[in-house]
Chains A and B, each alone.
Chain A
Amino acid sequence: MKLVTVAGPPSSGKTSVILKLIECMDLEKGSIGVVKFDCLTSFDKLSYQEAGVPVQIGFSGKFCPDHYYVSNIEDAVQWGLASEFEMLITESAGLCNRCSPYINGILAICVIDNLSGINTPRKIGPLLRFADIVVITKGDIVSQAEREVFAFNVKQVNSSARLIFVNGITGQGTFMLSKYLRQARDILTLKDLKLRFTTPAAVCSYCTGETRIGEKYQMGMLKKLEFKGV
């Protein structure tokens, strides 16, 4: 089974891109499965079910979405194998820009959209920096110049990635993306493989349910902002 990880900021068009992509792959119905890792709620289950795509949704809830992802990814792979998929696509929202659910040796796709602002590629860090393919969506509603500057800013952060412009509504661009997917590697397990980047670290009182504000409630790993005199 081939495994592909897709990540990107909320509402960047991940689900639309994946659905168009599955359509474009033209495999037997049900042979590509999706695992969606989300935070609290998601409305994507319906979209996948409507398209006849087997989908499993997981909510990280009070856990760090990245930690949740990495602790469940091997189970996802085993679910995919047991379901006899030819391909499994994981979809996760980069909820903090620090998130990057990419694994060494596994095709990593980042989806970002032109509407998110011209400097966004320079701000989102590992999510973009460690991707193999960067899919840029919503290019049909901004000017050519903005698309070019946006692509330039993506290149600044990740010069080795392949850039593909995809229209999530018409599917334009998914064809080239599907060509990459066919090259993704076949796996049986992710055991002993490594994440490309560490997940955000924190073991502090707030991780364990503290809600009160103030120094005396803060324990564990903390990072303090330094305020300079004006």
Chain B
Amino acid sequence: MNTADLITYLKSTNLGRILKDYPIAGDFLANFRLEAISKVLPLPQALEEVEDETLAEFGLDTYGLLQEFCMFLENFTRVEESTGRVSSLTILGGFNKMKEPESVELTIAAGEVISVVGPTGSGKSRLLSDIECLAQRDTPTARQILINGIAPDDLRRFEMGGKLVAQLSQNMNFVMDLTVREFLEMHAKSRLTGNAAEIVEKCFLSANELAGEKFTLDTKLTQLSGGQSRALMIADTANMSNSPVILIDEIENAGIDRRQAIKILAKSEKIIFVSTHDPLLALRANKRIIMKNGGISKVIRTSAAEGKSLAAIEQIDNTLQELRNRLRNGEIITEELLK
């Protein structure tokens, strides 16, 4: 519907019908304290019963409100496609803190996992923020980021408006007091997709696959353990977030299946950066970026030999996991278990 059609529709259709056609319209009415307005009349007529004062408090009159309503529906019925499909991301090197050039040209395809390693202060966060703002040789590192092989112009950079990159870090918490179901439904609603129930279910199932201890849809977010919270955040980011790039700052050991986490994220056809010092995660990535002195010093492709040692590392990890489970179940740890 174009704007003129939408205005005609709003003027001629009773609000009850509009709310059925566009459930999100309920939010609009609530935002302007108009929840109680008559639903059997079209908006302009229904507004006649509202005191002018109420609208004036929002700096609006009847006509202004109609326009706002129209804009609101236009905005929230458009399927958000502003980030577009990102099939590859390229990092063109700039300079490190010593002003030495980074001789790097790294292209990462959707579905690839890249680990970023290096000591504190080596420039990991700067790299991640260059990616986030799609640096065009205009940040202190002078790096350039290409999307699908093309340098995005300023307009596109602005339009990305924080939608390019989803972030997951150890410091993150849920601050809402909701149940898991309410939380997932709320997030699904903000995506404006029709299949909310389906995607909520999918998120919930994959979160439980990751979590050491299971939780239900009626569990409160605030009652989730650290591992369960992280599991839910990962499953939610993989299944619900629209962002084509995910930045992960370590996945802790406790109460979560890290291998499975990386698998779920990679399956979602996103580009994944994991900042980690965990060999299990780092070697699971296709490549790893080595940071030093504020710059990219090397890019190492995970070799076949490294891939082999991954099996041995997994065994060590499994042993540790087994020990954790035994501790949890009140069993005794013996030396035999380490063999």
Interface SS majority for chain A: helix
**B216-267 residues at the A interface, CB under 8 angstroms:** 229, 233, 236-237, 240-243
Contact with B along A175-203 (1 / 0, CB 8 A): 11001100000000000000001100000
Q: Identify the closest chain B residue to A171 (Cβ).
A: B129
**B169-228 residues at the A interface, CB under 8 angstroms:** 169, 171-176, 183, 186-187, 190-191
Given A148-B187, A179-B154, A159:B71 Cβ within 8 A: yes
Pairwise interchain contact A149-B59, C-beta atoms closer than 8 A: no
Given A151-B162, A159-B75, A172-B132, A142:B173 Cβ within 8 A: yes
**Min CB distance, A129 to chain B, in Å?**
8
In the assembly, what is the distance between CA of A163 and CA of B160, in Å?
A: 9
B323 on the A face (CB < 8 A): no
Q: Identify the closest chain B residue to A125 (Cβ).
A: B58
Q: Identify the closest chain B residue to A142 (Cβ).
A: B175
Most chain A CB atoms below 10 A, which of B154, B157, B187:
B187
Pairwise interchain contact B158-A115, C-beta atoms closer than 8 A: no
A81 on the B face (CB < 8 A): no
Pairwise interchain contact B190-A143, C-beta atoms closer than 8 A: no
Given A149-B187, A170-B125, A197-B59, A115:B132 Cβ within 8 A: no
Size of chain A's interface in residues, with CB distance under 8 A? 41
In the assembly, what is the distance between CA of A149 and CA of B172, in Å?
A: 15
A118 on the B face (CB < 8 A): yes
A13 on the B face (CB < 8 A): no
**Min CB distance, B134 to chain A, in Å?**
9
Q: Identify the closest chain B residue to A26 (Cβ).
A: B140
**Min CB distance, A24 to chain B, in Å?**
9
Q: Identify the closest chain B residue to A139 (Cβ).
A: B167
Partner of A149 from the list B76, B133, B190, B229 (CB cut-off 8 Å) is B190
**A117-159 residues at the B interface, CB under 8 angstroms:** 117-118, 122, 125-126, 129-130, 136, 139-149, 151-153, 155-157, 159
**B1-51 residues at the A interface, CB under 8 angstroms:** 27-28, 30-31
Pairwise interchain contact B129-A156, C-beta atoms closer than 8 A: no
Pairwise interchain contact B166-A144, C-beta atoms closer than 8 A: yes
A165 on the B face (CB < 8 A): yes
B161 on the A face (CB < 8 A): yes
In the assembly, what is the distance between CA of A153 and CA of B76, in Å?
A: 11
Partner of A198 from the list B59, B175, B183 (CB cut-off 8 Å) is B59
Given A125-B58, A163-B162, A175:B129 Cβ within 8 A: yes
B315 on the A face (CB < 8 A): no
**Min CB distance, A222 to chain B, in Å?**
13
Q: List, in ascending order, chain B residues with CB within 8 A of A147's CB.
A: 162
In the assembly, what is the distance between CA of A125 and CA of B173, in Å?
A: 27
Pairwise interchain contact A146-B132, C-beta atoms closer than 8 A: no
Q: Identify the closest chain A residue to B186 (Cβ).
A: A149
A interface list, Cβ under 8 A from B: 114-115, 117-118, 122, 125-126, 129-130, 136, 139-149, 151-153, 155-157, 159, 162-165, 170, 172-173, 175-176, 179-180, 197-198
24 contacts between A and B (CB under 8 A): A117-B175, A129-B58, A140-B171, A140-B172, A141-B171, A141-B172, A142-B172, A142-B174, A148-B241, A148-B242, A151-B162, A155-B76, A156-B27, A156-B28, A156-B31, A159-B71, A162-B161, A165-B162, A172-B129, A172-B132, A173-B129, A173-B132, A175-B133, A179-B158
